[in-house]
Amino acid sequence: MRTTLATVIAAMLITTGAGAAEKPGQLAHGRYLVENVGMCGDCHTPRGAMGQPDLQHPLGGATLDFRPTVPVPAWAEMAPSIAGPKALGWTRAQMVKFLETGVTPDGRESLPPMPRIRLKRQDAEAVAAYLSSLPAPMAVTKASAVGQAPKP
């Protein structure tokens, strides 16, 4: 009986997603990597009229306000939203894999200026946990993000 109850509780934890609970310190480590090492917000956080980061929508997706001075084939002008548990429609595991390999779930490599990212597993999990903990920017679609960034 005891085993059965434990099994049921374990199953509940897994199905409610509580199984993905953050390890102690993981969110802080992820935040540190995002804000102080990867500088993800430089490209992924939208900017206000004065060029200031829009902290209401951290990593909520933005049109880049810089361009290369030499021709770069396939330059991406838009950094998508990577905030929230369902960012990009990816699962947490897919985000971790991308952060480890730089390859998207559909087998693509990101266009420049997205750096080719290769984190070790522990760091990838921390970054994915932190990104997932951010509010999903419901209102920031590709179109509205374009409106927020100054035209280059």
- Residues contributing to the site for ligand HEC (CB under 6 A): 34, 38-40, 42-44, 76, 79-80, 82, 88, 98, 104, 110-111, 113-115, 117, 127
Pick from 132, 112, 105: nearest CA to 34: 132
Peptide bond into 115 cis (omega under 30): no
- Cβ pair 121, 96 in contact under 8 A: yes
Nearer to ligand HEC, 1 or 64 (CB): 64
Cα 103 to Cα 90: distance, rounded to the nearest angstrom: 13
Closer residue to ligand HEC in complex, CB, 1/108:
108
Instruction: State which residue, 10 or 116, has the beta carbon closest to ligand HEC.
Output: 116
Name the minimum Å distance from CB 102 to ligand HEC.
9
